[in-house]
Amino acid sequence: MEEDLFSADDSFLLSMSGTGSRAFGWAMVKWAPGVELSARLVSHGEVLDFVAMSLDGKSVCAVTEEDDDYWIAVQHLR
């Protein structure tokens, strides 16, 4: 999955949920070694929900938090 989600320069698309997130749409971001993605995506007390997509739109990964569990859905569109 990693190699399908990240481009050659480690870029991918990210869409967040939450108040005001619709106005931002998809943001192109770049993975940085050592970063803790979940800690950077949510403010204190908010739920972790996001969708990541490859730049070519062929791989999608969605993450949501329910109670004390995380749900991860992955889809490869070829």
- Residue range 23-73, pLDDT digits in tens: 778 888 888 888 776 665 665 566 668 888 999 999 999 888 888 888 888
Q: What is the pLDDT of residue 56?
A: 93
- The structural domain count of the chain equals 1
Q: What is the pLDDT of residue 78?
A: 74
From CA 16, how far away is CA 67, in angstroms rounded? 19
Nearest-10 Cα torsion for 50, 31, 37, 14: -10
User: DSSP letter string over 4-33?
Assistant: HHS-TTSEEEEEE-STTGGGT--EEEE--T
pLDDT at 18 over 90: no
Residue from 57, 65, 73, 71 nearest 5 by CA:
57
